[in-house]
Chains A and B, each alone.
Chain A
Amino acid sequence: MKNKLLVKSYLSIAILSTLSLNSYAEEEKYSWNISGWINEGLTFYDDGMGSDVAQLSDNGTTLGSRITLAGDYKLEEHGLDVGFEVIIEPLSGTPNYGGGGHQTPLLFANQDNLDTFNGGDIGLLGSSLHIGGNWGKVTIGLQSLPTDNIAVLADPSGTIWSGISPLFRANGFFIRGIDEGSTNVAWGQFAQCLATPGLGIGLDCNGIYRNGVRYDLPKMGNFSVAVGYANDEIYDIAVKYSAEHGGFKTNLHGGYSVNKDGGTNVGGDGSSTLQFQTGVMHLESGIFGVATYQMEETDDAIVGSGDDTDAYYFKAGIRKQYNGFGDSAFYAEYASYNDQYGMAHLDGVVGSELTQWGIAAEQYFGSRFLIYAKYENLSLDVTGSESAQSIYNAAKDLTLIQLGGTIFF
């Protein structure tokens, strides 16, 4: 009983200390913040051979559930701001391509999900320190580098939680109908990134958090420019333009990155990635459109491998308030991921096109909560030897119907 009282007292003191510490910190121009979002959903899939419903907790690491802890400290006398950011994600691990063994992580949940899987690990997405002033901002640590999300965030509609250009689902589902010897080939095999070998998301190919340094120049009018360096010899530069012209909101993002070790999945020495995304929205009507382009290449790759690729993504729709809950959005999207077949040339593939199209509806409830429904289809077309044709051209389409929700805090 005494122990319980003691514990309670200590707990009270700890809580009070925390509260008083924060009040004090406030006076000292120090501020904390906890924010993030939780994204959960249900997916019905039909891979041409079977169908089922899977509970998917995320739609990829870009927009997967996350908790961000951030702090800022203003050193006014020196004209500096310093701070930190730690981002944690309730996911980690590697996909369960083998169909057994370790458990499937939430990130790339697929039709092989084990029914004994009841949770995931906490993963560290980012951890960085920054210092800024009139001269710009330097960020060091595990972070989002300048060209991360270049092919994602120029979308002025904000309808990104249900539809973005990277094909995260491609890693979670196997291509069915193909030659039996290749039954565990995931759709991601035909959306291979050269900048990040092994990442089968097709677009936003330098889009993972990396250990490095980033410098953001001061914003110049409607332009912002950032340069970055990440382990191991990855350099990138990104330019973002955002403005309103005659009732139209216009975003244009461009990014170029060089990964000296990229392209190793096809035996290359290094790779370069060029990405553009532009988005326009008519503010009064809510009609919007997004166009995305990415080109990747690698030098000295294995002859015949997917060493020169490109990808496109388009989205068009409307976001407007039609009811008392908040905005509603309806859109259609189309994407084409070309020659991202990586080492499938060993099967005789010399060209590939993974096509994705979808339609979606979103309903916002204020700015804290949204629900979405989406229908999408993935199909594959390969060119190559007779052997390649026989393996892949019987590939069945993948159909996904997703119902999900995201809550922001």
Chain B
Amino acid sequence: MMLRFNWYYIMMKLTLKIQVAIISIFFATSSFSSDTILWSEDENSVIKIQNNNFEGIYLKKGNITESELIEQKKSQPVEINEQDIFTFLSSIKIIKNKSTTESLFTEKQQNNLAKHLSIGLKKAKPHQDILFSLAKEKIALGGLKKQTYFIAGRAFFNDGLLNLIIGEYNRLANSAYEMAYDPTNQGLVEYNFNYGERVAPKFPFNEKIVFTLSSVTMKSGRTDWVTVNVEELHKTTLSNDIVKKGSKSNKDTLIQRFKILEKLRKEELITEEEYQQKRKVLLRNL
């Protein structure tokens, strides 16, 4: 009887310890996933590296090694210039109506995403993607109404192409919902974003988009998948730089001309009429 009691007592203690250990491990571990956070502002504005469950399947099954995958797919890790990525992102426009377009990403988002995609693509493995969810704010009703919108998607490099899949665009943050869930606004509400899929989804992003770069195209049969040839993109960025530098020197010359014209008038070497005529010509060249 005594033995049975001790046995029972020991088992109870052991079970309790195992339970405490399991619970401790569960809660002490921030995450079991292989996510690498590249940037994060809050729970919902994040850029991270995550397994894509696509190439990863081949790796898991042992059908292919990581180096073979890199070779075969010409995939990540890869070095892509931040400026090139910025040029690519800023070239994507949403058609609002017949005469107006809107950038898919805001300028702030373009800068942020370009910077971290460039870093992330260097770090990411061939079976990984870079996932992003970014916020933008719109103020309405003369400042009385603030509304947050999210864009979410994924990017990866394959076969010389930088790929961007848009999961969702202009998803509205439900501030009323956030207030109910998180009354003291601690950022406890985490949205389940749709980051897009490599396998065609049932309900893809399907806003009409256009590009200001010829090297950017839609993947055939998809409305949510944009690709750009990185080599061509780099050439475009370089030529853009040359054009910018050129236009800068033109602007410098123009400023000089204005100054000379101003000086000529002050020293009364030209008449007021001549000054105005010449000024108009210079203004037209701006």
Chain A residues packing against B (C-beta within 8 Å): 18-19, 22-23, 25-26, 31-37, 62-63, 66, 68, 70, 130, 137, 139, 143-144, 148-149, 153, 158, 160, 214, 216, 219, 221-224, 226, 240-247, 249, 283, 321, 323-324, 366-368, 408-409
CB-defined contacts of A243 to chain B, threshold 8 Å: 30-31
CB-defined contacts of B175 to chain A, threshold 8 Å: 33, 35
Closest A residue by C-beta to B26: A245
Cα-based distance from A244 to B190 in the complex (angstroms):
10
> Cβ of B141 < 8 Å from any Cβ of A?
yes
> Cβ of B202 < 8 Å from any Cβ of A?
yes
Cα-based distance from A247 to B195 in the complex (angstroms):
14
Output the least CB separation between B189 and chain A (Å). 9
Cα-based distance from A368 to B186 in the complex (angstroms):
22
Cα-based distance from A62 to B46 in the complex (angstroms):
31
> Cβ of B192 < 8 Å from any Cβ of A?
yes
Within 8 A of A (CB), among B136-154: 139, 141-146
Closest B residue by C-beta to A22: B143
Contact A143 B144 (CB under 8 A): no
Cα-based distance from A36 to B175 in the complex (angstroms):
8
Closest A residue by C-beta to B143: A22
Cα-based distance from A246 to B50 in the complex (angstroms):
12
Cα-based distance from A243 to B31 in the complex (angstroms):
7
Closest 5 CB pairs of A and B: A22-B143, A19-B142, A35-B175, A144-B183, A35-B176
Contact A216 B32 (CB under 8 A): no
CB-defined contacts of A408 to chain B, threshold 8 Å: 174, 176-177
Interface CB pairs A-B, < 8 A, 17: A31-B143, A33-B175, A34-B141, A37-B177, A62-B180, A216-B186, A222-B30, A241-B27, A243-B30, A243-B31, A244-B190, A247-B33, A249-B190, A321-B202, A323-B203, A368-B172, A408-B177
Contact B30 A221 (CB under 8 A): yes
Output the least CB separation between B26 and chain A (Å). 8
Pick the contact of B143: A26, A245, A246, A368 (CB < 8 A): A26
CB-defined contacts of B145 to chain A, threshold 8 Å: 32-35
Within 8 A of A (CB), among B174-203: 174-177, 179-181, 183-188, 190, 192, 202-203
Contact A226 B176 (CB under 8 A): no
CB-defined contacts of B33 to chain A, threshold 8 Å: 244-247
> Cβ of B266 < 8 Å from any Cβ of A?
no
Contact B142 A242 (CB under 8 A): no
Cα-based distance from A18 to B183 in the complex (angstroms):
28
Contact A409 B176 (CB under 8 A): yes
Closest A residue by C-beta to B175: A35
B side interface size, CB within 8 A: 34
> Cβ of B171 < 8 Å from any Cβ of A?
yes
Cα-based distance from A25 to B32 in the complex (angstroms):
44
Give the most central of B27, B186, B190: most A CB within 10 Å: B186
CB-defined contacts of A22 to chain B, threshold 8 Å: 142-144
CB-defined contacts of B141 to chain A, threshold 8 Å: 34
Within 8 A of A (CB), among B188-224: 188, 190, 192, 202-203
CB-defined contacts of B142 to chain A, threshold 8 Å: 18-19, 22-23
Contact B27 A366 (CB under 8 A): no
Would A137 and B176 be within 8 Å (CB), given that A34-B145, A367-B171 are in contact?
no
Pick the contact of B203: A216, A219, A324, A409 (CB < 8 A): A324
Seed contacts A224-B188, A242-B190, A367-B174; 20 additional CB < 8 Å A-B pairs: A19-B142, A22-B143, A23-B143, A33-B145, A35-B175, A35-B176, A63-B180, A144-B183, A148-B183, A149-B183, A160-B180, A216-B184, A223-B27, A244-B31, A245-B33, A246-B33, A249-B192, A366-B172, A367-B171, A408-B174
Cα-based distance from A214 to B181 in the complex (angstroms):
16
Output the least CB separation between B49 and chain A (Å). 15
Cα-based distance from A214 to B182 in the complex (angstroms):
13
Contact B181 A153 (CB under 8 A): yes
Contact A246 B174 (CB under 8 A): no
Cα-based distance from A123 to B85 in the complex (angstroms):
53
CB-defined contacts of B192 to chain A, threshold 8 Å: 249, 283
Contact B186 A219 (CB under 8 A): yes
CB-defined contacts of A242 to chain B, threshold 8 Å: 188, 190
Cα-based distance from A409 to B175 in the complex (angstroms):
8
CB-defined contacts of A240 to chain B, threshold 8 Å: 188
Cα-based distance from A322 to B154 in the complex (angstroms):
22
Cα-based distance from A19 to B32 in the complex (angstroms):
49
Give the most central of B33, B141, B176: most A CB within 10 Å: B176
CB-defined contacts of A324 to chain B, threshold 8 Å: 203
Q: Mark B155-184, 1 if CB is under 8 A from A, else 0.
A: 000000000000000011111110111011
Cα-based distance from A31 to B26 in the complex (angstroms):
39
CB-defined contacts of A37 to chain B, threshold 8 Å: 176-177
Output the least CB separation between A210 and chain B (Å). 12
Contact A33 B146 (CB under 8 A): yes
Closest B residue by C-beta to A281: B192
Within 8 A of A (CB), among B33-66: 33
Output the least CB separation between B36 and chain A (Å). 14
Output the least CB separation between A208 and chain B (Å). 13
CB-defined contacts of A23 to chain B, threshold 8 Å: 142-143
CB-defined contacts of A158 to chain B, threshold 8 Å: 177
